[in-house]
Amino acid sequence: MASERDHKPEAPGDGPGEGTVGKALAVLDDIAARGRPVRFAELLETSPFPKATLYRFVQVLTRQGMLSYDPERQTYAPGLRLVRLAHAAWQASSLAPIARPHLDRLSRATGETVHLAQLDAGQVLYVDKRNAREPVAMYSQAGKVGPAYCTGVGKAMLAYLPEAELAPVLQRQAWHPFTPKTITDAASMRAELAAIRARGHAFDDEEHEPGIICIAVPILTRAGRVLGALSVTSTTARTSLEGLTEHLPEIRRAVEAIGDEAQDWRFPDQAAE
């Protein structure tokens, strides 16, 4: 620590200090975020990099297999090498492998949709899921991201985040009012988070999608650090928030088991930032 090595003046991802690698990864993120194949010119429009520089990044990433290129349409999309790498990440750095049997049990016990999520860059990252029927665990479902401020798992994790980490995360939220019930500012959120801490679990009361409700409980280490969250989702047609609390004992059992096992397996740190 040379006294000015540790300040972070720039946005995450690029900026000086993150080097060439950081910039290239920012380009990769950009392409991934669009959700469809993009042309070079499209990228260039919003890119902070000059033409030749962006061009070289895209070339290197393509040669590396991090992007795939469609020569006919001249479009770029995230490449298959990522799928291979992510499999390793999913196994080594997510709660999914540990949580698997507990998700299975919870799914069978409740018959409802079950989600396992972790925080990544201030967003909810779903790392596993059980549908009411299918027992498969794959990227069709894992890897999806969602907002933290209007999902049960998101709020459950935020509620137990230390202030130093919470503040920057709240600042990053989009606060888009998906439904009339969506919480749309940091102050209201802090009140909600206090309520969640008081009762030990979070609800999603149609805050993201109308008709969809869920109950979520955070997964914590013994020391109280947030690892992730588990939720059981249903519809207003089928039950109510009070109805969902029926599953609390089962959820609690799963959450505690996962937290304990994660502790013993000495789990990699997954910073929210």
Partner DNA sequence: ATGTTAGTTTCATTATTTGAAACTTGGTTT
Partner DNA sequence: AAACCAAGTTTCAAATAATGAAACTAACAT
CA 63 to chain centre: 29
Site for DNA in 34-53 (CB under 7 A): 39-41, 44, 49-53
243 binds DNA (CB under 7 A): no
Nearer to DNA, 133 or 266 (CB): 266
From DNA, its own copies, none, which one binds at residue 118 (CB under 5 to 8 Å depending on kind)? Answer: its own copies
Least Å distance between CB 162 and DNA? 21
The distance of closest approach from Cβ of residue 73 to DNA in the complex, given in angstroms and rounded to an integer, is: 9
Computed over its alpha carbons, how large is the radius of gyration of the chain?
Answer: 20
For DNA, the closer CB: 37 or 97: 37
Distance of CA 236 to the CA centre of its chain: 25
Residue 56 in contact with DNA, rule: CB under 7 A = yes
- Rank residues 51 and 87 by Cβ distance to its own copies and give the closer one: 87
Partner from its own copies, DNA, none binding residue 223, C-beta < 5-8 Å depending on class? none
Q: Choose from DNA, its own copies, none: what does 66 bind? Cβ within 5-8 Å by kind.
A: its own copies
Based on CB atoms, which residue is closest to DNA, 53 or 68?
53
Q: Which of 7, 8, 16, 264 binds DNA (CB under 7 A)?
A: 16
Output the CA angle 200-202-203, nearest 5 degrees.
145
CA distances from 9 to 15, 243, 254 (A): 8, 48, 41
201 binds DNA (CB under 7 A): no
Taking the C-alpha atoms of residue 119 and residue 223, their distance in angstroms, rounded to an integer, is 18
Minimal distance, residue 70 CB to DNA, in Å: 11
**Cα separation, 198 vs 189, whole angstroms:** 14
Contact between 168 and DNA per CB under 7 A: no
Nearest one of 98, 135, 101 to 118, comparing CA atoms = 98
Tokens 């979520």 belong to which residue? Answer: 216
Distance in Å, CB of 24 to DNA, minimum: 8
| Beta carbons within 8 Å of 231's beta carbon, 6+ residues apart | 114, 115, 117, 151, 152, 153, 156, 204, 214, 215, 216, 217
Q: Give the footprint of DNA on this chain (CB under 7 A).
A: 1-2, 5, 16, 19-21, 23, 39-41, 44, 49-53, 55-57, 74
